[in-house]
Structure formats: C-alpha cells, structure tokens
C-alpha cells in the first residue's frame, strides 16, 4: 500500500505549519508524539490543532533516523552559502 499525499487544486503538496510538539511514553511500552499545527500560516496565532500518535520504539527510531537524514539533506546546500 502506498500513501497518497494530499494536494491542492494546482497539484501542489499541501503542508500545515507545525507550531509545537510534545513527546513522552505511554505505559512505558510506547512512545507518544503529539504535534500541534495550524491548517494555514494565517491561523498560527488563532487556530491550532493537536494530533496524538502512539509509536512503537522501533517506529520512533526509524522516524528519528529518517527525519535526521532529511534535515541534513536540506541543510547541506546551505553550509556553503555566505550569510549575505
């Protein structure tokens, strides 16, 4: 099964600004990840939502590794640029 990303009428991928998160454990057997977000950048100060996930420890490690890899990929081209 392949996941389909939500797209707008122009075919662009829809993203929602993340405004915060909380992590913890659930009964010491799962990892809790709660993500606070707004549906649009205009709603950041007025309308925030929260979604809560329960992940296995293995899923948490895989997600952390993938996010780290992607963040490094995004930051890499920026390292050689001057601050101007």
2-6, 7-11, 62-66, range with the lowest pLDDT = 2-6
Please count the other Cβ atoms lying within 10 Å of the Cβ belonging to residue 65.
10
**For position 84, what pLDDT does the model report?**
55
**For position 1, what pLDDT does the model report?**
63
Q: Which CATH architecture has domain 18-76?
A: Roll (2.30)
Q: What is the DSSP letter of 7?
A: B
pLDDT in tens, 8-58: 999 999 989 999 999 999 999 999 999 999 987 777 778 889 999 999 999
- Residues comprising the chain, all counted: 84
User: Domain-by-domain residue ranges, the chain?
Assistant: 18-76
What sign does the CA torsion over 5, 8, 33, 53 have? negative
């Amino acid at each position: 099964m392949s996941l389909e990303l939500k797209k707008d009428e122009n075919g662009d991928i829809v993203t929602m600004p993340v405004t915060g998160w909380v992590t913890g454990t659930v009964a010491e057997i799962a990892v809790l990840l709660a993500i606070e977000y707004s549906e649009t950048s205009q709603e950041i100060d007025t309308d925030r939502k929260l979604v809560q996930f329960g992940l296995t420890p293995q899923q948490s490690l895989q997600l952390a590794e993938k996010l780290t890899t992607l963040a490094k990929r995004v930051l890499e081209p920026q390292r050689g640029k001057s601050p101007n």
